[in-house]
């Protein structure tokens, strides 16, 4: 497959996974892309954003716009948008999804979940605007984005330090991320059924507390400030500020200042100088959870991060053969971590290589000037796709493809193909 074959195959896959229809309940048309028709049937929050990155890289701006409008079609009055929108599928795909919605009399027909996912939504609107200069779209979306980010700040920054907390592992988007083992009370190691029950227990308890956030904060069953989520939050506050500027909206400054506060808090509380890594922390105690996963690299995407910090993180971990330098990097946890398992498993994000992580780290390395290292990360993905097709995740030793098939996220490779020197790279660097 040449690069252009890959582009066309990705386009075909996204179009084949597209679902459009009319919602009687919301009196609106909807349009979304299933990440994988058999395994993941809904509209998912951050998946939608990843689809928009892919679609805009392919020049499919119309479809991208429709996906974003659908994502916000059910936005609640206070700004909230759930991480799964069920549209025409009233019944959960998995019984465990049931606990991720608020209990209501409409139990069998909840319209969306009560969870959030990493907030990539301002960057995606920015991408669409950059490609279309569609001011009307911007005028429609910016007020929705502002309400969404205001909801996050008001409801998830429990102690006012700027950092957001997640209330279940699933909100990280990296469902079984090994960082969370000790938080849920699982003996950090290879996943098994006990971990399953511990994690489902978190959702069940949140459900029983009716997702009342004041209660969840008080009970403190699971409250984590996660590095990936907060990096994306900081990045997207800047994107939102830029969008406000484009509309002459005076709130731009507020979002830009907030982004700075978030980054400062990340450096103060998540960074560990001794081991040169950003770690997820417990919300209340701010204690670091010292597990090496790809999110230790994520803050490198932030403009203005002290250079000695980014140099130390890369030098110490990226090409360390005991950690992330597997034959097909970057594994979803360091290979010397007790939880590392390279094989196919229902416990996602505990060893295999994901296109998403490489896409994110590619941007970090590229913009920090580590072009050769960035190239390795991108070439890995091209090799994996050529060898094993568009799969959910891959074996970091053999490159075998695992999990869902025709998995859309692997299409992020087309975005990596676009960030390649020349004009587009320069304009993207300006965005960070
Ligand atoms: C898995 C992923 C999550 C994603 C969902 C749908 O649960 O871990 O991030 O949103 O699948 O693709």
CA distance linking residue 162 with residue 104, whole number of Å: 31
Pocket residue to mutate for ligand 1, from 226, 332, 346, 348, most atoms within 8 A of Cβ: 348
Residue 274 CA, ligand 1 centroid: distance in Å = 33
Task: State how far the alpha carbon of 213 is from the alpha carbons of 91, 157, 177, 286, in Å.
Answer: 25, 11, 23, 19
pLDDT at 21 over 80: yes
Instruction: Map residue 195 onto helix, strand or coil.
Output: helix
Residue 42 CA, ligand 1 centroid: distance in Å = 10
- H helices of 104-250, in order, are 121-132, 135-156, 181-184, 193-208, 213-219, 227-246
Prediction pTM value: 0.96
Contact 283, 158 (CB under 8 A): yes
Which of 164, 175, 148 has the alpha carbon at shortest distance from 240? 148
For 93-122, the pLDDT digits (tens) are 788 888 999 887 665 556 899 999 999 999
Q: State what percent of residues in the chain have pLDDT above 90.
A: 88
pLDDT at 15 over 50: yes
CA distance linking residue 271 with residue 66, whole number of Å: 39
Residue 148 CA, ligand 1 centroid: distance in Å = 21
For 143-190, the pLDDT digits (tens) are 999 999 999 999 999 999 999 999 999 999 999 999 999 999 999 999
Nearest atom in ligand 1 to the alpha carbon of residue 47 is 10
CA distance linking residue 79 with residue 151, whole number of Å: 6
pLDDT at 419 over 90: no
CA distance linking residue 222 with residue 216, whole number of Å: 8
For 272-323, the pLDDT digits (tens) are 999 999 999 999 999 999 999 999 999 999 988 999 999 999 999 999 999 9
Which of 337, 325, 336 has the alpha carbon at shortest distance from 396? 325
CA distance linking residue 220 with residue 205, whole number of Å: 11
Q: What is the Cβ-side half-sphere exposure of residue 166, based on CA atoms within 13 angstroms?
A: 31
Contact 227, 286 (CB under 8 A): no
Contact 226, 295 (CB under 8 A): yes
Structure tokens of 398? 């053999």
Closest Cα to atom 3, ligand 1: which residue?
Answer: 173
Can you name the residues that pair with 28 across neighbouring β-strands?
A: 23
Protein residues with CB under 6 Å of any ligand 1 atom: 35, 40, 44, 46-47, 173, 175, 348
Task: State how far the alpha carbon of 169 is from the alpha carbons of 12, 127, 177, 184, 378, in Å.
Answer: 32, 28, 7, 9, 28
Taking residues 11-29, what's their average pLDDT?
A: 93
Q: CB-based contacts of 111: which residues, under 8 Å, 6+ apart?
A: 25, 26, 74, 85, 86
CA distance linking residue 69 with residue 381, whole number of Å: 30
């Amino acid at each position: 497959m040449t690069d252009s074959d890959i582009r066309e195959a990705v386009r075909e896959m996204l179009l084949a996974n597209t679902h459009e229809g009319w919602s009687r309940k919301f009196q609106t048309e909807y349009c979304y892309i299933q990440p994988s028709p058999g395994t993941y049937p809904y509209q998912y929050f951050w998946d939608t954003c990843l689809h928009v990155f892919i679609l805009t890289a392919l020049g499919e701006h119309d479809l991208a716009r429709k996906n974003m409008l659908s994502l916000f079609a059910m936005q609640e009055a206070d700004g909230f948008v759930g991480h799964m929108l069920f549209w025409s599928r009233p019944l959960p795909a998995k019984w465990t999804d049931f606990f991720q919605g608020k209990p209501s009399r409409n139990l069998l027909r909840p319209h969306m979940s009560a969870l959030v996912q990493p907030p990539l939504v301002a960057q995606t609107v920015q991408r669409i605007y950059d490609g279309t200069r569609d001011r009307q779209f911007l005028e429609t979306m910016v007020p929705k984005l502002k309400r969404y980010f205001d909801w996050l700040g008001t409801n998830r920054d429990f102690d006012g330090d700027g950092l957001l907390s997640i209330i279940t592992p699933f909100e990280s988007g990296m469902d079984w991320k090994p960082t969370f083992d000790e938080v849920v009370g699982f003996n950090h190691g290879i996943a098994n059924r006990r971990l399953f029950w511990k994690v489902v227990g978190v959702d069940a308890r949140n459900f029983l507390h009716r997702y009342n956030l004041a209660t969840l904060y008080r009970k403190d069953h699971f409250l984590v400030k996660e590095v990936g989520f907060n990096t994306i939050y900081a990045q997207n506050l800047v994107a939102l500020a830029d969008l406000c500027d484009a509309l002459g909206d005076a709130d731009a400054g507020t979002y830009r200042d907030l982004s700075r506060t978030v980054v400062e808090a990340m450096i103060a509380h998540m960074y560990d100088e001794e081991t040169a890594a950003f770690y997820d922390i417990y919300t209340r105690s701010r204690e670091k959870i010292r597990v090496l996963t790809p999110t230790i690299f994520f803050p490198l995407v932030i403009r203005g991060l002290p250079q000695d910090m980014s140099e130390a993180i890369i030098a110490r971990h990226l090409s360390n053969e005991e950690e992330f330098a597997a034959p097909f990097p970057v594994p979803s946890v360091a290979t010397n971590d007790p939880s590392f398992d390279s094989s196919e498993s229902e416990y996602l994000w505990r060893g295999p290589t994901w296109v998403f992580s490489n896409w994110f780290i590619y941007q970090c390395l590229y913009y920090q000037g580590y072009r050769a290292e960035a190239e390795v990360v991108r070439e890995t993905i091209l090799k994996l796709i050529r060898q094993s097709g568009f799969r959910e995740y891959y074996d970091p030793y053999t490159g075998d493809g695992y999990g869902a098939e025709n998995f859309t996220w692997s299409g992020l490779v087309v975005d990596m193909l676009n960030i390649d020197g020349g004009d587009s790279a320069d304009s993207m660097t300006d965005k960070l």
